[in-house]
Chains A and B, each alone.
Chain A
Amino acid sequence: MISGLKTAIGLEVHVQLRTKTKLFCGCSVDVGAPPNSRVCPVCLGLPGALPTTNEEAVRLATRAALAFGFCVEPTSEFVRKQYFYPDLPKGYQITQYAHPLARDGALRLPESDGGRRVRLSRLQLEEDAGKSNHDLFAEETAVDFNRSGVPLIEIVTEPEIRTPGEARALLVRLRQVLKHYAGVSDCNMEEGSLRVDANVSIRALADAAPPWKVEVKNLNSFGNVKRALAFEERRLSARVREGCPPERETRRYDASVRETRPLRTKEEVLDYRYLPEPDLALLNLSEAEISSCGVGLPPPIDEIEARLVERYGLSLYDACQLATRPERAAYLEAAVGEGDGEIAKAAANIMIGDLAAGLNRRGSLSEADLLPPETLGRLARLRTNGTLSSTTASRALALLLWMEGATPEDLDELVRREGLAQVGDPAELESWIRVALSENPEEVARSRAGESRLLGYLMGEVMRVSGGRAEPKLARRLLEEALASPE
C-alpha cells in the first residue's frame, strides 16, 4: 500500500490437472517426451478430427472447485475462443466462458498475512496450447504440440488482493490446497503445471478517475509474482502521481532484469468471437456426481488451522506450519489423541523441527511412514513429563527415524538401553558437577569472584558431562550451591 493510492490485484492461475491423457483426446500427457511425439489427429487439429471430453479431467476440476467452496454448476458449456497463434492448432482454444464449471469460491489468506477472505470468481476447464520456442532456431519459431490439449483449470480471483505480499501468500495457499488437499495437480511451476498471470490496478483514493490497469504475464515463480507486482505498483504509482491519463496494457516480467516490459501491442483489436462448442454436448453434472467428486476431501485449510489452535492451544504459526498438508495435521492429531496442549505443543515442535529435517534428508514426504503417530505421541509425552531433555529427545528421534516404523515400546526400550532418561538423583548430579568444576578451574574462580554470566557456561559443561541427562532445574540449583560454598 502506497499512501494516497489504492492497489487492487487479481490473479489468474492455470493449473494442469493430474490425468493420464489429454482433455479432448486419448494422447498420453507426457510433456517431457520428444517433441511432437504425443500427438494425434485431435490435438494436432487435423481436418475432420473431433474432441471427446476426458471424464477424469471433469472429476478433478470439480474436486478442485469443491476444495475452494465453489458452487459447481449443474450445466456448464465449452466454447471456442478464437485467435491465431502457431501453437494453437485449431485456431481456437476450447475453454469455458459464459457458463464456467464453477462460480463463487473463496480462499482465506493465512492469518500471518491478515487472514482475509479473497473471493474466487470462477473456475473453468480448458485445454492447453502447444509450446512455441523462439530461441531454438535463429530465424524460426519451433512448435511442439505434446502439450496441446493437456487439461487445465483456470481459477480467477476477484481483484481483492491489496499487496504483492498478499498475492504471494495467496498463491502459496492455493498451491497447498490444489496439491495436498484436493490432490488434483503437481503444481510444478518449473514444468509449467502451474502458471500465473496477474492484473494490477492503481487509483488515487481521492480521485474518481478510472484506474490504471496492467496485466502482467510470464510470472514463473511465486517470488517473481511478488517482485513483478511490486515493480508495477511502484511504476504505476509514479505515473498516477505525475497525473498521466490512465492506460491499459499487457506487460511481461523479465526475471533477469527484474522489470516488466510492455508486450508488443497488436495492430488489430482483440475479439475472441466466442462460439458455443458444437462438437461437445453441454456438460451436465448431477448433484450425486458433483458430491462424489468431493469424497475424501479434507476440511478447508483454515478450518484445520483453527482446530489446531482451539483444540491444542498451538500458536497460529505452528498451526499454519502443520496445516500445509492435511495429512500432517491428521498425523499430529493421531499422535496426541486425547492428550493435552502441552503434549501437542511438544509433538508440534518435534514435527516442525527435527522430524521435518529428518524427512527432508530422506527426501520423504510422509511422517507416518517413518514414525508411527503413537510413537511420536510417546516421545512428546516423555518430553513433557521430564523424562527426556530436549537433547536426549533429539537423540531418541534420530535413532527412531533410523529404525523406521518404531513402536512406542521400541522407544521405551531405547530410552532404557541408551540411558536417555533425565537424572534427578542429587548424588549423581553432584558428581557430574564436581567433574565439570574440576575441568574448568579458571572459570570457576572468576565466577566465584562475581562474574555471574559464567554460570550459563558452567551449566552447559554440567549438561555435557551428563550426556544431556541431567535434570536441568535441580542441576542448576546444585551448581549454584556448589559455587556459593567456598572450597
Chain B
Amino acid sequence: MAPRHRFSAADVRRAAALASLALSSEEVERFADELARVLDGFEWVESSGPPPEVVSRDRHLEPGLRSDAPDSDTLHKPPSELAPDWRDGFFVVPRLPALDR
C-alpha cells in the first residue's frame, strides 16, 4: 500500500490547480512533505468486499422535500452590499471569453 500514500509536488500542483489555490514553490514543497506524512499515517483496514456504492449516508434519512411555494430567506442586505465589485445590478469579474464549462 505504501506507494499509494505518496504525495508528490506534482500532486500538490495538480490539486492546487483544480482548487484554484495560488501556491509558492516553497509552499508546494512543504505541503507535499506534510501531506505525504498525513497519508503515511493513515491506518486502513483491508476492504471486506467491493467498494460501497450508495452507502455514503444514512439510508433512513427521510428526503424532506419542500413544496413548490415561494419561501426564500430574506436578505437583510442587498447583494450589491456584499459584492466585491458591482455595476448596474450585476456582480462583475475580470472579463473572460465564453469558456467551456
Contacts and interface: CB of A to CB of B under 8 A. Distances in A.
A and B touch in the complex (CB under 8 A): yes
Contacts of B22: none
A88 B93 CA distance: 13
Interface string B48-80: 000001101111011111111111111100010
Contacts of B67: 54-56
Interface residues of A, number: 68
A278 B87 CA distance: 35
B93 A86 contact: yes
Chief secondary structure at chain A's binding surface: loop
A421 to B, nearest CB: 55
Nearest to A99: B54
Interface residues of B, number: 43
Contacts of B89: 34-37, 144
Interface of B: 14, 17-18, 20, 53-54, 56-59, 61-75, 79, 82, 85, 87-101
Interface stretch (A38-46, A337-345, A386-394): A38-46
Contact of B91 (A86, A98, A99): A86
Contacts of A269: 14
A35 B78 CA distance: 12
Nearest to B56: A276
A252 B98 CA distance: 10
Interface string A13-38: 00000011100011110000011110
Contacts of A282: 54, 57, 59, 61, 63
Nearest to B17: A268
Contact of A143 (B18, B61, B93): B93
Contacts of A416: none
B95 A36 contact: no
A27 B68 contact: no
A452 B14 CA distance: 87
A52 interface: yes
Contacts of B85: 140
B63 A283 contact: yes
A40 B66 contact: no
Given A26-B66, A140-B95, A250-B100, A268 B18 contact: yes
A234 B72 CA distance: 50
A39 B75 contact: yes
Contacts of A273: 18
B95 A137 contact: yes
A46 B81 CA distance: 13
Contacts of A141: 92-96
A276 B66 contact: no
Contact of A36 (B68, B91, B100): B91
B68 A56 contact: yes
A20 B68 contact: yes
Nearest to B71: A26
Given A19-B68, A20-B68, A54-B66, A142 B79 contact: no
A58 interface: yes
A395 to B, nearest CB: 48
B100 A143 contact: no
A75 B70 CA distance: 27
Nearest to B80: A36
